[in-house]
Amino acid sequence: MVHAVVIGAGVIGLSAAIRLQEEGHQVIIVARDFPAPFETVDAQLQINYTSPWGGAHNRWVLPANPTEEKEHQMALITYERMMQLQKTQPDAGITPMPGIEYLEAPSPVYTSLTEAKASSLGLAGFRFLRPEEFPDSRVKLGFTYDTWCVNPMVYCSFLLRRFSIRGGKVLKRELRDPAELFSLKELGRVDVVVNCSGNGFQDENVFITRGQTCLVTNYCPATVTRQNADGSWTFSVPRNFDGGTIVGGTKEPNNWDSTPSLAVRKLLLDKFAAAYPPILGKDGKFTVIKDIVGRRPTRKGGMRLERERIHDGKSIIHAYGLGGRGYELSWGVAQGVINLLVEDLQSSKVVAKL
């Protein structure tokens, strides 16, 4: 049995901690922020705690290179786990829903897509939309598939409860370096640290991506994404479980402004209403709950998922920098952590024999 400490109580940290428990290891989560009910979360005060405000859904990204293929496999692992959890734990905050995509200028990886190809990629329920199902003539390609959406505050609280009831412990602490944990006496024995901190601790490749979204009461029966010809996006993520619907579409690298813009809110809502008019309902308008600004920790070159040997034979497993794909890759990344831990244990045995 390994004594592991996981840094971070976002969706990646919580998922990794539970997978470690499932493998029979003893786990402690150390984090600055922990899941809390919607009513108690201050979006601006906890702006660097991304998971409660994430667009928690699965949007299939068709793989066009080896990195995207690896991420697609992680998304498939996550999809299977989410479907299993939804069936066995209806209180987990997961809802199976259709995913709808509209593309104004589809790239070759999309124009070459066939239903047979979609099936081989594991896209259940895939169907091309007919032109009469498009919102307007600018859309050149559309399709739908089976997917899931999550109410992140319900889901992350569920994961933390599951972790706790299985014997997991938590410590609220702000850290300067992952190696610090090997010296904290209150933790006792620490064999390995799993760094799910999001920002990576002074990783020069990590930057924040500002995203403004608007939470509305309007119900949307699907998670809808529209890729516009100018490169911009508009999307909705229904939260369900009385969580409203997120409407978004902004990605602003290295913008640290934490104040929501009313002009951006209007743009987001107008664009999505045009992309999916049924969202307006009988009243023909949005009912806004709040505007939200989040900072997605993004990494040049993609996520960091690797192990690092430090002093005295100790190891740190890094799992961070997923940008806006934390939820949809979460269980796949957690499995990656397990695989790296197995490699680490095997290499330790080899060194011991030598």
Three-state SS sequence of 118-150: HHHCCCCCCEECCHHHCCCCCCCEEEEEEEEEE
pLDDT in tens, the chain (354 residues): 999 999 999 999 999 999 999 999 999 999 998 987 666 666 666 667 778 777 799 999 999 999 999 999 999 999 999 999 999 999 999 999 999 999 999 999 999 999 999 999 999 999 999 999 999 999 999 999 999 999 999 999 999 999 999 999 999 999 999 999 999 988 999 999 999 998 889 899 999 999 999 999 999 999 999 999 999 999 999 999 999 999 999 999 999 999 999 999 999 999 999 999 999 998 899 999 999 998 889 999 999 999 999 877 789 999 999 988 999 999 999 999 999 999 988 876 543 333
Is 197 within any annotated ligand binding site? Answer: no
Is 13 within any annotated ligand binding site? Answer: no
- Give me the phi and psi of 10, to 5 degrees please: -80, -170
What is the SS3 assignment for 95? strand
CA distance 237 to 235: 7
Q: Which two tokens stand for residue 264?
A: 């951006």
Give the number of other CB atoms < 10 A from CB of residue 127: 15
Q: Is-contact 51 152, C-beta < 8 A?
A: yes
Is 51 within any annotated ligand binding site? Answer: yes
Q: Who's near 272: CB < 8 A, 6+ residues apart?
A: 224, 226, 234, 235, 236, 247, 249, 279
* Cα distances (angstroms) measured from residue 305 to each of 116, 227, 236, 284, 301: 32, 29, 29, 46, 11
Is 183 within any annotated ligand binding site? Answer: no
Candidate CATH numbers 3.40.50.720, 3.90.660.10, 3.20.20.210, 2.40.50.100; the one for domain 3-352: 3.40.50.720
